[in-house]
Amino acid sequence: MASSVVALDPAKQERRRQILAAAKTVFADSGYHGASIGAIIERAQIARGTFYLYFESKTAVFDSILDQAMKDLRARIRRIEVVEQTAAPPQVQLRAQVVAVFEYIVGDRPLAMLLLSAGHTPDVEAAERLDQFFGEIRDLLRRAVESGAEIGLLRKCHPELVAAAMLGMIRGVIELVIHDPSPPSIEVVVSEMLTVALRGVLA
């Protein structure tokens, strides 16, 4: 678990963000197994003692990266509003949320590379933590599918299976976009994904 940080101290928060950003890059470049605290310290340009003021281990900083990513993703995924008369149509709300999620992940290449390492790291603890992260994402997708069916946007289906299929597609698309030297725009990516994902489940 990450060491506590004084929440209201902007300087400490900024230093913590600096360490997390450096760690993401090191994990993306070297993988969890190949990364070291020394490499993170060198990348962040801080003293070793400074690192340990914020994180007790490589595992702690890795966990913090995934915790922050989950927090950021949850902030971009909201229940579709159908009661408020001024709300945009459900399909428009859905598209906006998917665009926001993809812009966040693809816009942070080190994070995307770290997430794509799931299933490839020889470190058991890191693999389990990534599996837990994607399990939470799959649960978010399952609940989104259930909500979509409740409001009549989606047909009745098997939420677990649909969520798993959607997660697999999302990971595959992110991998393609990250490694493509000339990737399509986020708008094009989202349009294709929604067409594939929803054509079979629209009410």
Full-model pTM = 0.85
Query: At CA 76, angle to CA 102 and CA 165, rounded to 5?
Result: 55
CA distances (Å), 12 to each of 41, 43, 68, in order? Answer: 16, 18, 16
Residue 160 has pLDDT above 90, yes or no: yes
The pLDDT score that the predictor gives to residue 2 is 47
The pLDDT score that the predictor gives to residue 81 is 84
Distance CA(77)–CA(5), nearest Å, equals: 27
Distance CA(194)–CA(68), nearest Å, equals: 26
The pLDDT score that the predictor gives to residue 8 is 52
How many domains would you assign to the chain? 2
Residue 120 has pLDDT above 80, yes or no: no
The residue with greater pLDDT, 154 or 99, is: 99
Is the domain of 103 the same as that of 16? no
Determine contact, residues 3/35, Cβ cutoff 8 Å.
Answer: no
Q: Single out the residue of 197, 139, 154 nearest to residue 173, CA to CA.
A: 197
Is the domain of 87 the same as that of 187? yes
Distance CA(65)–CA(23), nearest Å, equals: 8
Comparing 4-13, 59-68, 101-110, 150-159, the range with the smallest average pLDDT is 4-13
H or E segment at 150? helix 124-150
pLDDT-derived band at 4, boundaries 50, 70, 90 = very low
The pLDDT score that the predictor gives to residue 175 is 93
| Residue position matching structure tokens 């799931």 | 118
Is the domain of 91 the same as that of 8? no
Residue 1 has pLDDT above 70, yes or no: no
68 inside domain: no
119 inside domain: yes
Determine contact, residues 196/116, Cβ cutoff 8 Å.
Answer: no
Is the domain of 110 the same as that of 192? yes
66 inside domain: no
Residue 49 has pLDDT above 50, yes or no: yes
Determine contact, residues 38/23, Cβ cutoff 8 Å.
Answer: no
Is the domain of 88 the same as that of 56? no
pLDDT-derived band at 127, boundaries 50, 70, 90 = confident
Comparing 17-26, 78-87, 171-180, the range with the smallest average pLDDT is 78-87
- Residue 85's domain comprises 77-199
> For residue 47, what are its two tokens?
């003293």
Paired with 154 in beta bridges are 202
69 inside domain: no
Query: Rounded to 5 degrees, what are φ and ψ at 47?
Result: -80, 155
Is the domain of 101 the same as that of 53? no
> For residue 186, what are its two tokens?
């986020």
> For residue 75, what are its two tokens?
């902030």
3-state percent helix, strand, coil for the chain, nearest multiple of 5: 70, 0, 25
The pLDDT score that the predictor gives to residue 200 is 66
